[in-house]
Amino acid sequence: MKIPCRFLSFPQFQKILQSLHLQSRCGGGNVKQVRYKTSSPAAGATHTDAIELFGKFYSRDDYTNVTPKILSKVGKSLQNQRNHPLWLIKERIKDHFYTHYLSRHRNPLFSVYDNLSPVVSTEQNFDSLLVPPDHASRRKGDNFYLNRTNMLRAHTSAHQRDLIRAGLNAFLVFGDVYRRDEIDKSHYPVFHQMEGVRLFTNHELFANVQNGEELNIFEKGSRTTYKQESHTLEAVKLLEFDLKQTLNKVMAHLFGKAGAQDRIGYAFGLGLERLAMILYGIPDIRLFWSEDERFFKQFQVTHIDQEVTFQPLSKYPPLINDISFWIPREGYEENDFFDLVRNIGGDLVEKVSLIDQFTHPKTEKISHCYRITYRHMERTLTQEEVCNIHRAIEKGTVEKLGVEGRF
């Protein structure tokens, strides 16, 4: 992957980093304002035709698909809430990199960014990573768009180019990312990633290799604006070894012994929820958003490396309802249905499964039947409140998705 890189003066460097950071937070962890340079939001937009985030307005258009439920999660930054399990994971990873990767002056080699704005441009999220315009990963069905030019980041990789352009060669990025996805105990539309990037000059990569001064990062060849030369086999093998060692070491630290212009580098990403669920035995991804004190008290540790085994708050019984409908011949996206269920049922919905698909032999109309499992994380649900939610979901699918109900 080719990422243009240039080195800047210190004031320029500071200016770029400031444009990436959030301003101070008010009580409760809510973001008050973002100093982040994106495509210009609509001037004078009203509340009815625009989305307000961090004091800025983003005009709605035909790409807007972010829901109120998702917007309510923006700015929570669970990775920065002290004694939250995601904060513990983040701090443990930071400690590992600060301890084991040092510069020749004995300073931490990797810099850490855990407060970058989750609102990015589509250019940052895709084009800066050379994702083609027609690539499937850009689909509305998989991402949350504010409009055609702005979105909630789908990965922390959206910040790679900006940080490299600021002159950084080794950095970690922690943050919340947003993707439209299925509904079950291990998937949630908001989760948290850690991005690691390391770049090497020719000298750094081959410094400890015999006759390293004779080796090069690139094969001999021509370079154009759109394509760099191929990397040499020696450079790729050394980079592969370094990346494998880096990941092995950070996993051992957590679990125990169980294209820049003149550089070469690697990037890797880790899902913080996945690590925390394995490390602490957390069974359901919705628990990370719990406000129950019994959950947080389990992670109030005296040291970030202290062992914690999550103790279930209680086992409440699930309530299960099915919903069937004929889908329209065009325009139906399953993730639209999942979003509607999440928006109406919230975290009371534990799982949604497609249990039957039927094609009528004469009309060729297609029917889907979904099983929705409802379960509260902190109390027993009543059949009456579940029925009210389920009826609202039935009504919403007809009105918003254009389906024909079979209720």
What's the one-letter identity of residue 266? Y
**Cα within 13 Å of Cα(200), Cβ side:** 22
Return the pLDDT at 129.
92
- Tell me if 350 is assigned to some domain: yes
The model's pTM: 0.79
One domain for residues 127 and 193: yes
Query: Is 198 in contact with 170 (CB distance < 8 Å)?
Result: yes
Q: Is residue 258 assigned to a domain?
A: yes
> Phi/psi class of residue 391: alpha, beta or left (left: φ > 0; alpha: ψ in -120 to 50)?
alpha
Instruction: Please indicate, yes or no, whether residues 248 and 395 belong to a single structural domain of this protein.
Output: no
Q: What is the CATH number of the domain that holds 241?
A: 3.30.930.10
Domain range for 32 is: 10-277
Q: If you average pLDDT over every residue of the chain, what do you get?
A: 86
Answer yes or no: do 355 and 234 share one domain.
Answer: no
For residues 236 and 365, state if they share a domain: no
- pLDDT recorded at residue 18: 56
User: Same structural domain for residues 160 and 258?
Assistant: yes
Check residue 225 and give its pLDDT.
Answer: 66
Q: How far apart are CA 269 and CA 250, in angstroms?
A: 12
Say if residue 265 is in the same domain as residue 323: no
The answer to whether residue 308 is domain-embedded is no
Q: What is the pLDDT of residues 65-94, one digit of tens each?
A: 999 999 999 999 999 999 999 999 999 999
Q: In this structure, are 14 and 86 located in the same domain?
A: yes
- Residue 287 near residue 295, CB atoms below 8 Å: yes
CATH number for 398: 3.30.70.380
Whether residues 219 and 333 fall in one domain: no
**Do the domain assignments include residue 63?**
yes
Domain boundary among 277, 309, 334: 277
Residues 337/370, Cβ–Cβ less than 8 Å:
yes
Q: How far is the first Cα of the chain from the last one, in angstroms, to the nearest whole number? A: 51
The answer to whether 143 and 158 have CB atoms below 8 angstroms apart is no
In a domain, 19, yes or no: yes
**pLDDT, position 26:** 38
| Beta carbons of 329 and 401 less than 8 angstroms apart | no
Whole-angstrom distance, CA of residue 215 vs CA of residue 56: 50
37 shares its domain with 177: yes
What is the pLDDT, as a whole number, of residue 104? 85
Give the pLDDT score at 316.
87
**Same domain for 178 and 323?**
no
Residues in the chain with pLDDT < 50?
1-10, 21-46, 258-259
DSSP 8-state class, residue 230:
P
Query: Would 218 be classed as within a structural domain?
Result: yes
Q: Are residues 86 and 177 in the same domain?
A: yes
Q: Are 245 and 196 in contact (CB under 8 A)?
A: no
**Domain end residue (candidates: 252, 277, 302):** 277
pLDDT for the residue 15: 55
- In sequence order, which residues have a C-beta less than 8 Å from that of residue 204 and are 6 or more positions away? none
Q: Which helix (H) or strand (E) holds 372?
A: strand 366-374
* Contact predicate 386/374, CB 8 Å: yes
**Chain-centroid distance, C-alpha 31:** 18
Is residue 61 included in any domain, yes or no? Answer: yes
pLDDT of residue 101: 94
Number of domains the chain contains: 2
- What pLDDT does residue 40 have? 41
Mark whether 73 and 191 lie in a shared domain: yes
pLDDT of residue 218: 83
Residue 311 falls inside a structural domain:
no
CA atoms within 13 A on the CB side of 165: 16
Please count the residues of the chain.
407
Tell me what pLDDT residue 323 has: 97
CA distance 312 to 298: 10
Last residue of a domain, one of 245, 277, 309: 277
